[in-house]
Structure 1
């Protein structure tokens, strides 16, 4: 991760600014089976940039690089001038999900790394708020008299105490890096976790038990 950009990026920066002025949000074409919310998968993100980036001499490459027993997702934004800009996301080794679990984590990291690199907007960053410990004001379009969803409406949802402990651990470990902490959860559960809110009481209990029992030295941890 030492070299993250070319010696100069002036031409690239100008081209990216022009491209971003024409980019549209990625279409939310998939549904989270747990939260039932819509989100843009990686194919939708690529579709959003497929025609605009080449127009300004830009292209993107993503590579999976093994290092120190971990998978690194490296995203490179390139300009026809030879200038380039890179980012890298380190994924924790898979605990139990095997290739499928790691594949889900890699797909998640690719999607968010690509969106962040080119500035494509697709979905609300709810977990980013949770990691910072902030409760931001929601849209004024939501009627004040509408009662918020309570825990009783979903008896399997994690408890407030579990949520507090989970986010305290993830924030201590990853700071505000949403991609990194969701990648760790995806690796642990062997499926793509798009939001901590989709975890059940049992899920969070298993995860916290693993941390508290000393299994943080197991292969799923960084």
Structure 2
């Protein structure tokens, strides 16, 4: 994001106007719901606000404070650029740009248009400082794959030496370290969201994961891994 030198004196007025506008933005509704299929075959639902919703809830406050958004597609030697400008009546301007694939790279004009809309939405939310998408879960793994694979990977068995005939029997192996530790609040919230999205009860989710359900017991790390695998 940048501003040109001749606009430097006008920037304080732009910042002040933007601060007032942000305080007057209307609540943005996540009005789109999509289901994402992961490479591993699992799925999760993701909510976001489309571009029309974002603009309709921010444009009135911007206009009331002398601010306007301008977005345009430009071309340079590296290919097309999407440029987003926030301009103020006193001459200040903030600019942000992102490189994007060409219509030739994407194969058809419709895909190119979809890419423009997608990037326009992200540039607007970043420039205006608004949230219009579901957050990731606590560990930053909404896609779930790396964390899930690590958590569900069985521990590697260590080679066992034969004990002498008169030696006492070795104790039975215990559960892997951390399996019985309580799940974090973020993990519990994540599972609750997934159960709700499935339309299941907790008892049904536990049954699908092959777990015994007891409302009085707290979810463990092992429960979290098993539930996440079926949800």
Q: TM-score, normalised by structure 2?
A: 0.54
Alignment map for 1:203-214 (pairs within 5 Å):
none
Within a 5 Å distance, the mapping from 1:57-206 to structure 2 comes to 57-68=66-77, 70-93=79-102, 95-126=105-136, 129=140, 138=186, 141=189, 145=219, 147=224, 150-151=228-229
**Could you tell me whether the CA contact under 8 Å between 2:80 and 2:102 is conserved in 1?**
yes
User: What is the RMSD of the two structures over their aligned residues, measured on CA atoms?
Assistant: 3.4
Does the aligned pair in 1 maintain the 2:71–2:82 contact within 8 Å?
A: yes
**1:90–1:96 distance in 2 versus 1, CA, 3 Å:** closer
Q: 1:21 aligns with which of 20, 23, 30?
A: 23
2:60 to 44, 51, 59: 51
> What's the offset of the Cα at 1:96?
4.3
2:24 aligned counterpart, secondary structure: coil
| Higher RCO (CA-CA < 8 Å; seq separation 6+) | 1
CA contact (8 A) 1:4 1:87 kept: no
Q: CA deviation at 1:51?
A: 1.1
Q: Paired residue for 1:219?
A: none
Distance 1:41 1:21 in 2: 21
Q: Distance in 2 between matches of 1:36 and 1:48?
A: 24
Which of 18, 40, 51 does residue 42 from structure 1 map onto? Answer: 51
Unaligned runs of 5+ in 1: 154-222
**1:104/1:31 CA distance change after superposition, 3 Å:** same
**Structure 2, gaps ≥5 residues long:** 37-43, 148-183, 193-217
* Whole-Å separation in 1 of the counterparts to 2:79 and 2:88: 29
- 2:156 is aligned to none
Larger Rg: 2
Q: Is the 8 A contact 1:25 1:122 kept in 2?
A: no
